[in-house]
Amino acid sequence: MIDKKKFGAKIKTKRKEIRLTQREVSQLTGLSRNYISDLESGRYLPSVETLVSLAEPLKLDLNALLMTEIQVYECDNLEGHLNNQEATR
């Protein structure tokens, strides 16, 4: 499963890199400032539609962002699977 806190931290880091406030991102995307804060703090995972609306103002490479999360998820699953196999030996 995707880690909401890490995912939110990536969005926050990207926003700060391009020197935008949450209010400015809110104005550019139509999302509320509170919702952006919730995303950044890891309370929620954004929908695909929300990611698309954030992509342009935050200069997000959605493919890279999502692939990183998928790879982490797959690595965690593989590690868990290997640990289970070792435990049953």
| Residue 58 DSSP SS3 | helix
Tell the residue number behind the tokens 């692939």, with chain if given.
67
Cβ contact 11:39 at 8 Å: yes
Alpha helices, DSSP H, located in the chain = 4-17, 22-29, 33-40, 48-58, 62-87
pLDDT of residue 73: 46
Would you give per-residue pLDDT tens digits along the chain (89 residues)? 678 998 899 899 999 999 999 999 999 999 999 999 999 999 999 988 999 899 999 998 888 776 655 444 444 554 554 455 555 55
Could you give all domains of the chain from N- to C-terminal order, each with its CATH number?
Answer: 4-87 (1.10.260.40)
pTM over 0.85? The answer is no
Question: Can you say whether the dihedral through the CA atoms of 6, 44, 55, 71 is positive or negative?
Answer: positive
CA 34 to chain centre: 16
